[in-house]
Structure 1
């Protein structure tokens, strides 16, 4: 018995149970005519359901047309692929319980990671419902876990100076100063080209999250060390940060992290320093020095001021100074 005959037989048996008085042969012939117009494939146990794979592809295509960044699309693809590997069902058969099971299967996940996973699932199933591929969105009952409030790590002025003194090459010092002075994300600095640097204004334009463009600035010190690094280069690579050896090419994000890690290791700060910590340090020290929160929000590329507020931790000395300066006697 082939697959089509097996499905036909199963359907007829199910119909007889529901409607004992039906004409078996007439029903069988009618169903046979209908099924002959379709290609039928059985989903094997343990396989990702092809329907869910198809819906994921449609979703990604739609989001690509909406102009989402390649980074966001890659995150969607990765997360939904992992979900499909665990929940092997048709999209319309997936229930809220399936999503709870998926999100809770790894007890070691941080709340922030679970929130990101849930955000992708909500976006996917909300789209399926809006496009009428499913009747209702099963993620509406799922609430995001509460935020784990943790103050960002930031270096003290003394630790920052230790890193500066630990730089052994012009290249290392340039990388350190650029990351600190601009407050850029690693991905933003990685993508910069030499031609992007406005020498006159000591600034550059970067593309941040959501493909949003913003202007960031270099300090006089950062500009000095960056130009010193660029002048000693003898390559024709357009990238701002390149590999140390031939063939010269754009230095990878991991390569930039490694350079910063090497500097930190020399002063015993290898467990505390990363490109992202330098971004935190830029925000914290600048705020402590009196910068307006709105300005820091713009410089960091935060869409919400609440995100920037995480950096607004000031020292006891700064609090005492603010109290003395602004209290009306």
Structure 2
């Protein structure tokens, strides 16, 4: 090194602490991935469920075989869930095993286990062309919005924002409740909102005029109650009467309560995801290209978007009509 050169100090990169036990691996695994807070919590529950089952049957999760995973999957499929009273659906079991497989892949990379036992397991078959979620017709969505618009009370303005964002943007419930006031903005003449989607992907969406108006009215009421200008509001976008962040269970109850008041059949089985399905179906029915709907919903695979489109088998949309019409025009 020349005498005139100044040695450059490099910041030492801390070595990640290796976990000591099976439970500790979960946090190391989650810290190693770009995930939204909602996805992180769901994965943590999925692994915790597996570890709890292993403890009950006296199985070492670090020495588990595919036979253990098979037994766990069959147990999930046959055991009533504490919340619903019914066994989990094949799609939910498959999702849990997918999270577990990712966890074991991480352990294999750390050489904590030799192989991933989920790889050889018998996973439930999931029909990629069908979803068990109940969707709403455009008329039912309108009825639900009408009930929300006519509602009064201290939470009415907040509820209108929640429903507007679910209906107009097709957000996941986890994305909705994770929104902060600071996520709102304006881009190229559009009112917009930024958020972290599934897989930790940073995303942005345009607010429709009705959603933007609902947000404006709600924040104006909050600012007035707090005695501050709107631009000084911080924290969660949707809050409870105590100022806490609205949780996903409250949104589930809200959707069902509004649907019941709107006279929508099957209201007790609806969920915020029902509005996400309706968003996809309506967008495709209005001629929005599949790739644009896919981008809006944050789907990595277009087949997932197609599952949400309940009207995809409608013969009115058969491309044969478009081909026939074009041929007729050419033939004069």
| Partner-residue secondary structure (3-state), 2:28 | helix
| 8 Å CA contact retained: 2:179, 2:195 | yes
Measured in 2, the distance between the counterparts of 1:119 and 1:279 equals 23
Question: What is the TM-score normalised by the length of structure 2?
Answer: 0.73
User: Following the alignment from structure 2 to structure 1, what is the Cα–Cα distance between the partners of residues 314 and 49?
Assistant: 49
Could you list the runs of 5+ residues in structure 2 that have no partner in the other structure? 1-18, 79-86, 227-232
| 1:12 matched residue in structure 2 | none
| 1:322 CA displacement | 5.5
Q: How does 1:156-167 map to 2 (within 5 A)?
A: 156-167=137-148
SS at match of 2:163: helix
The 1:222/1:143 distance shift into structure 2, 3 A limit, reads same
Higher gyration radius (CA): 1
Find the partner of 1:77 among 41, 44, 53. 44
Q: Matched residues in 1 for 2:269 and 2:68: separation?
A: 39
> How many angstroms does 1:321 deviate by?
7.8
Correspondent of 2:166 among 179, 182, 187: 179
When residues 64 and 316 of structure 1 are mapped into structure 2, their CA distance, relative to the original with a 3 A threshold, is: closer
Q: 1:54 to 1:154 in 2, by over 3 A?
A: same
* Cα-to-partner distance string for 1:262-307 (whole Å, 9 max, x where unaligned): 2222122232543221111111101100001111111111111110
2:38 and 2:167 map into 1 onto residues whose CA distance is: 24
1:30-49 counterparts in 2 under 5 A? none
Which deviates further from its counterpart, 297-306 or 94-103?
Answer: 94-103
- How does the TM-score come out when normalised to structure 1? 0.73
Q: Does 1:294 align with 2:281?
A: no
Say which structure, 1 or 2, has more relative contact order (CA 8 Å, 6+ apart): 2
**How far, CA to CA, are the matches of 1:304 and 1:138 in structure 2?**
26
What is the match of residue 305 of structure 1?
A: 302
2:263 maps to 1:268: yes
State the 1:102 CA deviation: 1.6
Q: Is the 8 A contact 2:173 2:273 kept in 1?
A: yes
Q: Deviations over 1:30-68 (max 9, x none)?
A: xxxxxxxxxxxxxxxxxxxxxx98134135314413444
On the 8 A contact 1:174/1:229 being kept in 2, the answer is yes
The equivalent of 1:36 in structure 2 is none
Q: Distance in 2 between matches of 1:85 and 1:316?
A: 43
Q: Are 2:175 and 2:197, in contact at CA under 8 Å, matched by a contact in 1?
A: yes
The reply on whether 1:155 has 2:155 as its aligned counterpart is no
Report what 2:252 is aligned to: 257
Structure 2 match to 1:121: 100
Q: CA deviation at 1:91?
A: 4.4
Residue from 93, 96, 105 that aligns with 2:75: 105
Seen in structure 2, the aligned counterparts of structure 1 residues 86 and 254 have a Cα distance that, compared at 3 Å, is closer
